[in-house]
Amino acid sequence: MDYRDAGVDVEAGRAFVQTIRHLVESTQRPEVLGNLGGFSGCCRLPSGYQDPVLVAGTDGVGTKLKLAQALNRHTTVGVDLVAMCVNDILTCGAEPLFFLDYLATGKLEATQLTEVVAGVANGCRQAGCALLGGETAEMPGFYGAGVYDLAGFCVGIVERQQRLDGDQVQLGDVAIGLASQGVHSNGFSLVRKIVEAAAKTTVSPWQERPAMLQGHSLGEVCLTPTRIYVDPVLTAWRSGLPIHGMAHITGGGLPENLPRCLGSGQSLQIDPDAWPQLPIFQWLAAAGAVNPAAMFHTFNMGIGFVVLVPPDAAEQAITKFHQQAVDAYAIGEVIAGDGEILGLPQAP
């Protein structure tokens, strides 16, 4: 017996690394040292920082992977993986430096996993960070045929004096909501339950095209990747927009994530009518009979990222983001309180 008899093809793994080499190289920054294939990746700190702070984050894609695997469409979940990590570290003002991925599967299917890594590389290019390395683990008996899982790890950098930690937020600051591209990568256990329960066909419920989705299938809309906010936010900030706080709207929606960017003694008053609701959320609420409070506590509801700015900079912020093709809305105000998010639907 040998390793291949046990289900692990080492030669296929080596060949896969060579296949994805050009994808990795397409993301390189000048600070990266060495080449793909070593035991570790090396990256110098960018020049110009006086008191740099390294910022790290890690995340996955969740059960959205089951949808990608069911539809055999794997080019977007890698973008989701990068987005979930880089958007998180962006909230303290960090510029992403490099990214590492972990990809585990039962059997290495080169075409499938190359598409996944292509998505990761795409996300890294959007975020301006290097895909510094990763791990592909073939685990027969642990994952079934065609099944894979993903995890990502990102490291960024910010000047210590510019790091946002809640202390900069002031009463009266305006919350500017940046539009999401859809469901992003949270709440998919509920999404899948609703879609499967509402199915009118036994072929594939994800192929159904509800009228309110304007010709798009449920699968197409739900696989739309998480928007990466790094470039528009850093561009606006570096051009002079005074940003006092930021929040990435992921699992738990606005109620769970907005308090994380506030300072002591502060709350946020939100106007849920300040931005248009995306059709996919309207369909999910109706098809699953989900009450509004549960929708806001599960999904981003059309707002994927929030920046807090002084009142006299609100219009400037909206203009700057519109100039970068990101819809932005004044959705609320910082008020005195104990971390509550007020104005959103409450549970019946």
pTM of the prediction? 0.95
Dist CA 171 CA 334 (whole Å): 5
CATH number for the domain harbouring residue 19:
3.30.1330.10
CATH number for the domain harbouring residue 180:
3.90.650.10
- pLDDT category of residue 148 using cuts at 50, 70 and 90: very high
pLDDT one-digit tens code per residue, 58-100: 999 999 999 999 999 999 999 999 999 999 999 999 999 999 9
Residues 324 and 253 in one domain: yes
Residues 219 and 324 in one domain: yes
Residue 10 has pLDDT above 90, yes or no: no
252 within some domain:
yes
pLDDT one-digit tens code per residue, 159-212: 999 999 999 999 999 999 999 999 999 999 999 999 989 877 666 889 989 999
Residues 245 and 300 in one domain: yes
Dist CA 319 CA 302 (whole Å): 19
Structural domain for 13, as ranges = 3-162
Residues 32 and 72 in one domain: yes
Residues 244 and 216 in one domain: yes
Residue 14 has pLDDT above 70, yes or no: yes
Residues 9 and 120 in one domain: yes
Write phi, then psi, for 29 (nearest 5 degrees). -105, 160
Residues 50 and 105 in one domain: yes
pLDDT at position 202 is 61
Residues 157 and 179 in one domain: no
169 within some domain:
no
pLDDT at position 201 is 64
pLDDT one-digit tens code per residue, 125-144: 999 999 999 999 999 999 99
- pLDDT category of residue 228 using cuts at 50, 70 and 90: very high
Residues 194 and 332 in one domain: yes
Residues 8 and 152 in one domain: yes
Among candidates 186, 193, 195, which has minimal Cα distance to 217? 195
27 within some domain:
yes
Please state the domain count of the chain.
2
Higher pLDDT, 152 or 18: 152
- For every residue of 53-111, DSSP letters joined together read EEEEEEEE-TTHHHHHHHHT--SSHHHHHHHHHHHHHHTTTPEEEEEEEEEEESS--HH
Residues 22 and 151 in one domain: yes
> Given 140, 162, 184, which residue is the final one in a domain?
162
